[in-house]
C-alpha cells in the first residue's frame, strides 16, 4: 500500500474521530426523548445531518454528474464487468434477507434487506478509491476508476431505492392489491432525492442542454460538501448509536465487501469478459474498497440498522489495511 493511500486512510479516521468527539460531547444537542435508545426515534443531530446530505448535497452531486456525463466515451465493457457482479451480489444479499425476514410490521424489517445489501456492496470509491487508483495504477488507472465513480452511486442507489420502496409499499397496512403497490412504488421511487436528480440530469444530458456556469458552480460547491459531512457523520453516529452488541453480522458484512465482492468481480471480469492488465486490476480494487459512507445515509434515511452500518463502515476501513495488500498480491500474480 502506498504512503498516499495510508495518509488518506489516516485522514479519514481523524475526520471520523472529530465527528465522534463532537457527538460524544453533545455539542449539537441530545437525541429527542429521554430514556429512548439513541436513533430509535426523534431527530438526533446525526440524523438531521444525514437528512441534509440526503436531500441537498447528494442530489446536487448526482444531478451534476449525470448532466455532465459523456455517455459515448464510457468504457462500457469494463463497466459491465464491474457492475454485473456487484449488482448480482446486491440482489443475492437482498433476496436472502427478504427470504429470512419477510416484510412485516416489525420495526425496520421492510428496509433491512436493502440496508444490508448496500453495506456489503457500496464502496468508498472517492475518499480511498481515488488515491489508491492514482498511487498504484497512475493516470491510466485513475481514468478507469473515475468512470466507475461516475456510474457507481447512480447504479446502486437507483436499484436499491426501487427495491426498498417496493418493500415499504407492500408492508404498509393500507396496501391494497398489486396495482396499488406498484403505483406507490413508482411514485416514491421517482419522487426521491436520489432517483429524481439522476433522471433530471440524464434528461438534460440527452437533449444536449449544458448547465449554466452559475448553476454548475453552485452544484459543484454543494457536491463537495458530501465527503467531509459524511465522514464526520460516521463518527457522530458512533457516539449517538454506540457499537452493536453482536459483531457477527458486522464482520460478515465486512467480509462480503472486502473478500467476496472483489473475488466475484475478478472471476466475472477475467474469465467472463476477458479483461486483463490495468482495467482488470482497477475494477477489482474498486470492488475491494471498504464500505462507503452513503450506506450510512441510506440506513438513516430508512431508520434501519444505523449502528450496525456505522460499525461495518469503520470495521471494513480498518480491515482494508490488511486486505488491500492481499488483493494487490493476487493481481500481480495474474
Chain segment 201-239, per-residue pLDDT in tens: 989 988 999 999 999 999 999 988 888 888 898 888 888
SS3 assignment for the chain: CCHHHHHHHHHHHHHHHHHHHHHHHCCCCCCCCCCCCCCCCCCCHHHHHHHHHHHHHHHHHHHHHHHHCCHHHCCHHHHHHHHHHHHHHHHHHHHHHHHHCCCCCCCCCCCHHHHHHHHHHCECCCCCHHHHHHHHHHHHHHHHHHHHHHHHHHHHHHHHHHHHHHHHHHHCCCCCHHHHHHHHHHHHHHCCCCHHHHHHHHHHHHCCCCCCHHHHHHHHHHHCCHHHHHHHHHHHHHHHHCCCCCCHHHHHHHHHHHHHHHHHHHHHHHHHCCCCHHHHHHHHHHHCCCECCHHHHHHHHCCCCHHHHHHHHHHHHHHHHHHHHHHHHHHHCC
Contact between 269 and 280 under an 8 Å Cβ cutoff? The reply is yes
* Mean pLDDT to the nearest integer, 121-130: 89
pLDDT tens for residues 2-36? 676 778 778 888 988 999 999 989 888 876 543 34
Q: What is the pLDDT of residue 175?
A: 55
Q: What is the pLDDT of residue 159?
A: 93
The reported pTM is 0.83
Q: Would you mind telling me the total number of residues written for the chain in this entry?
A: 334
pLDDT at residue 283 is higher than 90: yes
Higher pLDDT, 40 or 283: 283
- Between 1.10.10, 1.10.260, 1.10.3470, 1.20.1530, what CATH number should domain 3-23+44-332 receive? 1.20.1530
Least confident of 181-185, 234-238, 269-273, 313-317: 181-185
Residues 6 or more apart whose CB falls under 8 angstroms from that of 99 comprise none
Closest CA to 45 of 76, 79, 19, 75: 19
Q: What is the pLDDT of residue 173?
A: 65
pLDDT confidence bin for 39, thresholds 50/70/90: very low
Higher pLDDT, 33 or 319: 319
Higher pLDDT, 103 or 232: 232
Q: What is the pLDDT of residue 180?
A: 67
Percent of the chain with pLDDT over 90: 44
Domain ranges of the chain: 3-23+44-332
Question: What are 102's three cell numbers?
Answer: 419477510
Closest CA to 172 of 156, 188, 191: 188
Amino acid at each position: 500500500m502506498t504512503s498516499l493511500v495510508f495518509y488518506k486512510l489516516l485522514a479519514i479516521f481523524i475526520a471520523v474521530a472529530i465527528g465522534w468527539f463532537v457527538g460524544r460531547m453533545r455539542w449539537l444537542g441530545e437525541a429527542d426523548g429521554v430514556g429512548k435508545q439513541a436513533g430509535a426515534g426523534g431527530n438526533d443531530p446525526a440524523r438531521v445531518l444525514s437528512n441534509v446530505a440526503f436531500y441537498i448535497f447528494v442530489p446536487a452531486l448526482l444531478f451534476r454528474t449525470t448532466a455532465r456525463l459523456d455517455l459515448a466515451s464510457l468504457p462500457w465493457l469494463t463497466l459491465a464487468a464491474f457492475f454485473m457482479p456487484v449488482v448480482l451480489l446486491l440482489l443475492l444479499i437482498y433476496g436472502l434477507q427478504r427470504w429470512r425476514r419477510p416484510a412485516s410490521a416489525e420495526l425496520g424489517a421492510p428496509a433491512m434487506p436493502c440496508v444490508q445489501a448496500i453495506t456489503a456492496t457500496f464502496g468508498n470509491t472517492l475518499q480511498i478509491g481515488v488515491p489508491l487508483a492514482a498511487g498504484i495504477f497512475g493516470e491510466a488507472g485513475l481514468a478507469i476508476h473515475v468512470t466507475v465513480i461516475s456510474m457507481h452511486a447512480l447504479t446502486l442507489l437507483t436499484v436499491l431505492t426501487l427495491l426498498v420502496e417496493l418493500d415499504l409499499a407492500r408492508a404498509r397496512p393500507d396496501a391494497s392489491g398489486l396495482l396499488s403497490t406498484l403505483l406507490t412504488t413508482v411514485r416514491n421511487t421517482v419522487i426521491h432525492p436520489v432517483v429524481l436528480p439522476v433522471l433530471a440530469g440524464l434528461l438534460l444530458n440527452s437533449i444536449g442542454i449544458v448547465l449554466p456556469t452559475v448553476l454548475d458552480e453552485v452544484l459543484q460547491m454543494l457536491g463537495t460538501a458530501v465527503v467531509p459531512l459524511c465522514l464526520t457523520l460516521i463518527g457522530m453516529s458512533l457516539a449517538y448509536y454506540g457499537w452493536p452488541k453482536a459483531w457477527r453480522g458486522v464482520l460478515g458484512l465486512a467480509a462480503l465487501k472486502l473478500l467476496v465482492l472483489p473475488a466475484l468481480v475478478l472471476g466475472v471480469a477475467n474469465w467472463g469478459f476477458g479483461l486483463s492488465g490495468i482495467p482488470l486490476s482497477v475494477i477489482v480494487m474498486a470492488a475491494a474498497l471498504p464500505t462507503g459512507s452513503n450506506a450510512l445515509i441510506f440506513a438513516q434515511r430508512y431508520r434501519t440498522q444505523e449502528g450496525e452500518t456505522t460499525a461495518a463502515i469503520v470495521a471494513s476501513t480498518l480491515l482494508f489495511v490488511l486486505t488491500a495488500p492481499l488483493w494487490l498480491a493476487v493481481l500481480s500474480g495474474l
